[in-house]
Amino acid sequence: GGNRQLPFNEQQPVNHPVSLYAATKKANELMAHTYSHLYGLPATGLRFFTVYGPWGRPDMAYYSFAKAIAAGEPIVLYDDGRLKRDFTYIDDIVAGVVGALDRPPTDGPRILNIGNHRAEEVRTLVALLEAGLGRKAIVRSAPRPAADVEETFASVDAISALTGFAPSTPLSEGIQRFVAWFKDWHRIS
């Protein structure tokens, strides 16, 4: 939401979402908390930070950028790509989920961040895609929409203390893996 204290930790209030997407995430956490309270069900909510990688959602920025760059079509970068995201490779997300599975909370529901614990500019992502695809992006700049935050950056201290989680895939390596998969899946040489 509108929180500006970085990195985002699980104890920070998230009562002022700036998008409908964020509001639905908060609503889900509230429903899980209530259900856990009413029925004594141990519940862990996981907050994923900008997940990317093979077999990802085609509507996510990294995937749609790759498709556009490969096709020679323009992409839109908000604020010239200066917005920052905590890009987290899918293998790191899975490691966090698996680590939390057999460690249910004993004192009520909990929330855990799973992120790369690093904020990087979107234009860095685009440069890595360009390098991997061997083609320059056609970039159109636009102002940041009101529903987009300037930066995401996950504290992973809580999940690290609980499970030993440590993200291990830097964006440069993860995008290489994604591009290799992308080229193979879309039969691009």
- Report, as residue numbers or ranges, the catalytic residues: 21
89 neighbors 172 (Cβ within 8 angstroms): no
Residue 142, classed as helix, strand or coil, is strand
Say if residue 54 is preceded by a cis peptide, omega within 30 of 0: no
Instruction: Give the side-chain half-sphere CA count within 13 A for 115.
Output: 25
Q: Give dist(CA 29, CA 35) in Å, integer.
A: 10
**Tokens representing 34?**
């209530």
CB-CB contact of 80 with 126 (8 Å): no
Cβ neighbours for 50, distance < 8 A, ≥ 6 positions apart: 85, 86, 87, 88, 115, 152
φ, ψ (nearest 5 deg) of residue 180: -60, -45
